[in-house]
Amino acid sequence: MGMMIHGVWETDDGKWAAKDGKFHRAPSKFHCPSTSNETGKYELKVEADRYHLYVSLACPWAHRALIFRKLKGLEEIIPVTVVQPHMLDQGWQFSEPEPLYGFTHAHQLYGKADPHYTGRVTVPILWDKKEERIVCNESAEIIRIFNSAFNGLTGNSDDYYPEALHSEIDLINAFVYPGINNGVYKCGFATLQQAYEEAFDNLFAALDKVEGMLSEQRYLVGNRITEADWRLFTTLIRFDAVYVGHFKCNRNRIADMPNLTGYLRDLYQQPGIAETVDFEHIKEHYYYSHESINPTRIVPKGPALDFGLPHDRARFSS
């Protein structure tokens, strides 16, 4: 792995490793603008073919953006480029030069956006082709933009963050993000036993809590799908395939939690979602890229998973 230091890619990011043995996720540096026009600030323009999305099919954060692009009918309006699953010394790379500049690596986009950039080179990246800049590299913000900003162009007014539910959704995100979404990474990238055990306990406490909630309602906020569900989905769908083994999140599998199992199938079976899930990229990325965790780089063949199986979640719907 590597990162950008003052606009230059450095392959060895080990010298910035945390001494406390814990995984600390660096905050994203490019933040989504609002659609309203504040003087002097970048304004998001609601235009077709102005923006380009860069994702990894392996990455749960990028997967959120892909799901919202699909759900909101943005595929024609916002083209996408997918990076290769292996993230090695040069970071994310493209299998063929990307379409805008012919770049071979994602760090070149960060360098173009900010020649003095210091930080991680992460996906997803939402790029503005006209201003030649990164609009945003924070998935939580990209999905909010996708949820509503382009409604006028697509005619799709499906709302996964309805105003009346803001506080409920925010409350759920506030424990799902640290406990589960980031929680699996805190287990996997811990370098001290105690840090791992703490993350493990927090992760399964949060999963137990969600399992309990889902015994009483179909989705995280009542019986309609919201942003909170899609944010959880991208972690759950990877859980049994990679987090149980590779990240040592192995108290039990999602397959051992009946409500979460049905819930995961329910979300997976929503129109268009299955085609956003790519287990080849997911397994190749994690097992091959993280040499410190899996030095042989052997990618397991299993487990056999079938998210198309029936579920009993419709029993909650009115």
Ligand X SMILES: N[C@@H](CCC(=O)N[C@@H](CS)C(=O)NCC(=O)O)C(=O)O
- What gap in Å lies between CA 260 and CA 235, rounded to an integer? 12
Whether 121 has a binding-site annotation, put simply, is: yes
Active site residue 32: no
Tell me the closest approach of the beta carbon of residue 164 to ligand X, in angstroms.
25
Active site residue 287: no
Catalytic residue among 51, 54, 185, 219: 185
Q: At 53, list the tokens.
A: 């999305």
Q: Which is nearer to ligand X, 121 or 195 (CB)?
A: 121
Q: Which is nearer to ligand X, 227 or 266 (CB)?
A: 227
Tell me the closest approach of the beta carbon of residue 26 to ligand X, in angstroms.
7
Tell me the closest approach of the beta carbon of residue 139 to ligand X, in angstroms.
3
Whether 226 has a binding-site annotation, put simply, is: no
User: For 113-176, what is the HEC assignment?
Assistant: HCCCCCECCCCCEEEECCCCEEEECCHHHHHHHHHHCCHHHHCCCCCCCCHHHHHHHHHHHHHH
Which residue carries 């995280």 as its tokens? Answer: 220
Tell me the closest approach of the beta carbon of residue 224 to ligand X, in angstroms.
24
Q: Which is nearer to ligand X, 29 or 70 (CB)?
A: 29
Residue 128 Cα distances to 137, 139, 147, 226, angstroms: 12, 16, 18, 27
**Cis amide bond preceding 310, omega within 30:** no
Whether 123 has a binding-site annotation, put simply, is: yes
Residues that bind ligand X (CB under 6 A): 1, 28, 56, 59, 61, 91, 120-124, 137-140
Which residue type occupies 185?
Answer: Y
Binding site feature residues: 92, 120-123, 138-139
Residues with a known catalytic role: 59, 185
